[in-house]
Structure 1
Amino acid sequence: MEPVRTCVGCRTRADRSSLLRIVVQDSKLVVDPTATLPGRGAWLHPQIQCYQLAVKRRAFGRAFRESGKLDTAALENSVRENRLNG
């Protein structure tokens, strides 16, 4: 049985393999494709709708327990590219 995680965007539970692990590095959100980068991780469906919901709900700040501004540009680009390639 595969581990289950919750998407920070849509808040639905899904298998870990269907979600992207996101971590914070230097106040920037980056995708962790191997799920091995250190630090707190958050999980997100690789869909622009889930990304937009997470931004709208300010879910990334809560998930990472960060009070400052997080740069989401690289994550948004990764999600958009994933949608085009997938």
Structure 2
Amino acid sequence: MESVRTCVGCRTRAPRSALLRVVAVDSAVVPDTRASMPGRGAWVHETSECVESAIRRRAFVRALRASGPLDTQTIEKYLQRTKG
């Protein structure tokens, strides 16, 4: 049985394989496509709606327990590359 995670954008539960893990590296949100980077991670659907919702609600900052604002340009560029 596959483990289940909650998307920080839409707050729905989904299998781990359906979500993208992200981590904070030097105050930037970075996609962890292999889900193997060290540190605390957050899970989000690979859709612009979920990522934008997480950014708007500051969910990445809370989930990754960051002490300040996070740069989300890397994850936004990753989504544009994979979807467009």
- Structure 1 unaligned segments of length 5 or more: list them: none
Q: Which position in structure 2 is the counterpart of 1:72?
A: 72
Contact kept? 1:48, 1:83, Cα under 8 Å: no
Choose 10-19 or 75-84, whichever is displaced more.
75-84
After TM superposition, give the deviation of residue 82 of structure 1 in Å.
2.1
TM-score by length of 1: 0.93
TM-score by length of 2: 0.95
Q: Which position in structure 2 is the counterpart of 1:38?
A: 38
- Determine the C-alpha separation between the residues in 1 that align with 2:83 and 2:67: 29
Is residue 2:60 matched to residue 1:60?
Answer: yes
Percent identical pairs in the alignment equals 55
Letter in 2 for 1:55: I
SS in structure 1 opposite 2:80?
helix
- Structure 2 unaligned segments of length 5 or more: list them: none
Q: Which position in structure 2 is the counterpart of 1:20?
A: 20
Q: 4+ residue stretches of structure 1 with deviation over 4 A?
A: none
Letter in 2 for 1:44: V
